[in-house]
Amino acid sequence: MPNSDPPSDTRLMFELFNEIGIIEQLSRTAFEAVMTDGMTLPQFSVLNHLVRVGDGRTPLAIARAFQVPKTSMSHTLAKLDQADLIEMRPNPEDGRGKLVFITAKGRAARESAIHALAPEIAQILPVFTVQEAAALLPGLRKLREFLDKARDPL
């Protein structure tokens, strides 16, 4: 009978992606449990991105930053817009396009979320230290960059 097991290299990579998937799952659930308003992880991620790298970006650029389909980002942005956390203005340099700006309310919502998150982060750090987190980042970035290059363009 044929050996049905994948080679051990493959097994290891499966396990890596499996751990990553479970962490994503758990961290998303933990995040959304802490948010009192209905703020979702994608929504917060976008607000945080706009503050960190600056607003006035196009929806497509934001979709690429998170590697999600532009239709998914369109939905997230529509929700943020409805809640007045961002503002969508026409792009003066491209009549087809728009630019996304975070509002004062959006900044406040981001800060409120960060405050709500602080105790959770504080709980993690004694067990899983900043050093350990920092040690993981280069490898994860490298993996992400590989997958990024290998993918079909969004």
Partner DNA sequence: TCCATATAGTACGATTTCGTATCATATATA
Partner DNA sequence: TATATATGATACGAAATCGTACTATATGGA
- State which of positions 23-82 bind its own copies (CB under 8 A): 23-30, 33, 41, 45, 48, 51, 66-68
Place of tokens 């650029």: 61
Distance (Å, whole) CA 21 – CA 132: 19
- State which of positions 67-106 bind DNA (CB under 7 A): 68-72, 74-79, 88, 91, 94-99
Site string for DNA, 20-39 (x = CB under 7 A): -----x--xx--x-----x-
- Asked if residue 113 binds DNA (CB under 7 A), the reply is no
Q: Which does 37 bind (CB under 5 to 8 A by kind): its own copies, DNA, none?
A: none
User: What angle, rounded to 10 degrees, do the helices at 70-82 and 59-66 form?
Assistant: 120
Nearest residue (CB) to its own copies, 27 versus 94: 27
Which of 41, 19, 10 is CA-nearest to residue 136? Answer: 19
H or E, element range at 89: strand 86-91
Nearest residue (CB) to DNA, 94 versus 148: 94
Which of 40, 45, 42, 78 is CA-nearest to residue 59? Answer: 78
- Asked if residue 105 binds its own copies (CB under 8 A), the reply is no
